[in-house]
Structure 1
Amino acid sequence: MQSFDSDGVRIAYMDEGEGEPILLIHGFASNVLTNWIDPRWVRALKESGRRVIAYDNRGHGQSEKLYDPSLYGAPTMAEDARRLLDHLGIDRVDVLGYSMGARIAAFLVFAHPERVRSVVFGGLGINMVRGMVGTGPLARALEAPRIEDVTNETARSFRAFAEQTKSDLKALAACMRGPREKVDADQLSRISVPILVAVGSEDVIGGSGAELAALIPGAKFLDIAGRDHMKAVGDARFKQGVLDFLTSRA
């Protein structure tokens, strides 16, 4: 992966393929490899004739690790995405964000609507508005000396995933303790670019995708039937739904 300087923070990214550009923003404790390469998103998008840009969020993957929670607000992380577009000389992109990446994508379109052609909010439904509860237990789970010390089932699953992706647990805990800027229905109602909300039917972390889509004028909803938060990301129906959306969007 290459890297660039985002206002003093080193961000690792990949840029492959030719055609209309699409920017991929991964979820919490994940990275480009886990979220987009291994589930064959990059391959599918390149084969559809698109230029694929993906980056490791600050504190994740090969990007710089930061330990100050104040440096992890979603609007701040959205500026990493905007600076990457500037660095590559790209005026406007389609954006696909998953989970935390969907939240970052929302703040990107709020702040820079002229840079966004369309957005896919993957793995995050109505909880984008309601907020994620239990961030304290999740942070403590990441800070625990051993995974065996974590008794909360949801927190333990996040810790296990972070260990699987070989993440910096201290940096992830700082990210989890960072600012939780509110997304309200009024902000979503003013989005004017095409939107697809794609959430697994069993996703209790992201919440109802249909409820989120109902808040955004003209948004489409893709129900990834039978999939939870972790399993929906690589589902073939999710990929095909995104490809169909990108083909049909204005």
Structure 2
Amino acid sequence: MEEAHRAKQDYRVRMSASGGAPVVLLHGWAGSYRETWQSTGVDALLADAGREVVGVDLLGHGDADKPHDPEAYADLSGWLLHRLSEAPPVVDAAGFSLGALTLLGALIAEPTRFGSVLLSGIGDGVFAARDEARHSRIVAALEGRADDSETGALIFANYASTPGKDKAALTAIMNRPASPPIDPASLSPITNPVRVVIGENDFAAPAGRLAGAFPNGDLVVLRNTDHFATPESFSFIDALLEFFGE
């Protein structure tokens, strides 16, 4: 497999056979294209299936710019659509967690820009306002203000503190302006094939309403899988490959 550094924030793996539209892969908060999609072999498996892969490092992550101003992250979906301006006119796409939220916003804004779309690590919470209490606990942990009892929030702080992460940028992402709840009616005109994948132990579960809001949506629930284990789950990878192979 030949890998070429295409631009500062994305990478392209070129295949000899085109098997369809390129597949854009979007990681979650504190991840990167390399960590989420290359280390698990997903990009190579898609390559073996004859698909072209476009991996994107989200703003604040990987090789992308890392502003420390929360306002810089106010429109990640718009940022993504701009990043894809040089890609073919229609792409398939998969996103995990923050990447899935970013992809969902882009799909709502420009559904004709996408073919098949896979959303993972997000669920019915997209239809509700942000949980401010939980959000405040996570920010407190990132800023070193949480006590040891806040184990869930401290997981986020631990991820942000690993080598190579810009903790200030990741904290700024958490402090970005809250997005308004998504109106389920805004999804009903979107006729793209959409697969929603969620671990049964994911804090973002359930996801039945989200999958059901798309006319051509389906839902895959990963047994005995939590949020952070999703990208490495064999069941998740199987669901992704099956979906983009249809």
Q: Report the TM-score when normalising by structure 1.
A: 0.87
1:156 paired residue among 154, 157, 163: 154
Give yes or no for the alignment of 1:178 onto 2:176: yes
Task: Report the CA distance between 1:121 and its aligned residue.
Answer: 0.6
Which amino acid in the other structure matches residue 139 of structure 1?
Answer: V
> Quick check: which one's helix share is greater?
1
> Gapped runs of 5+ residues in structure 1?
5-10
Corresponding residue number in structure 1 for 2:64:
63
Cα distance in 1 for residues equivalent to 2:210 and 2:150: 27
Q: What secondary structure, in the 3-state scheme, does the structure 2 residue paired with 1:189 have?
A: coil
- Taking the TM superposition and a 5 Å limit, the aligned residue runs for 1:76-115 are 76-88=75-87, 90-115=88-113
Q: What secondary structure, in the 3-state scheme, does the structure 1 residue paired with 2:9 have?
A: strand
Corresponding residue number in structure 1 for 2:14:
17
The alignment covers a number of residue pairs equal to 236
Corresponding residue number in structure 2 for 1:121:
119
Q: What secondary structure, in the 3-state scheme, does the structure 2 residue paired with 1:94 have?
A: strand
Which amino acid in the other structure matches residue 166 of structure 1?
Answer: G
Contact 1:29-1:165 within 8 A present in 2 as well: no
Q: What secondary structure, in the 3-state scheme, does the structure 2 residue paired with 1:164 have?
A: coil
Corresponding residue number in structure 2 for 1:8:
none
Give yes or no for the alignment of 1:168 onto 2:166: yes
Give yes or no for the alignment of 1:246 onto 2:241: no
Change (3 A) 1:150 1:2: farther
Q: What secondary structure, in the 3-state scheme, does the structure 1 residue paired with 2:161 have?
A: helix
Q: Structure 1 stretch 165-174 or stretch 227-236: which is displaced more?
A: 165-174
> Gapped runs of 5+ residues in structure 2?
none
Cα distance in 1 for residues equivalent to 2:219 and 2:174: 28
1:217-237 deviation digits (Å, cap 9, x = unpaired): 221111111100011111111
Q: Report the TM-score when normalising by structure 2.
A: 0.89
Which amino acid in the other structure matches residue 200 of structure 1?
Answer: G
Contact 1:136-1:177 within 8 A present in 2 as well: no
Q: What secondary structure, in the 3-state scheme, does the structure 2 residue paired with 1:54 have?
A: strand
Cα distance in 2 for residues equivalent to 1:238 and 1:156: 25
RMSD between aligned residues: 1.9
Contact 2:107-2:114 within 8 A present in 1 as well: yes
Contact 1:102-1:122 within 8 A present in 2 as well: yes
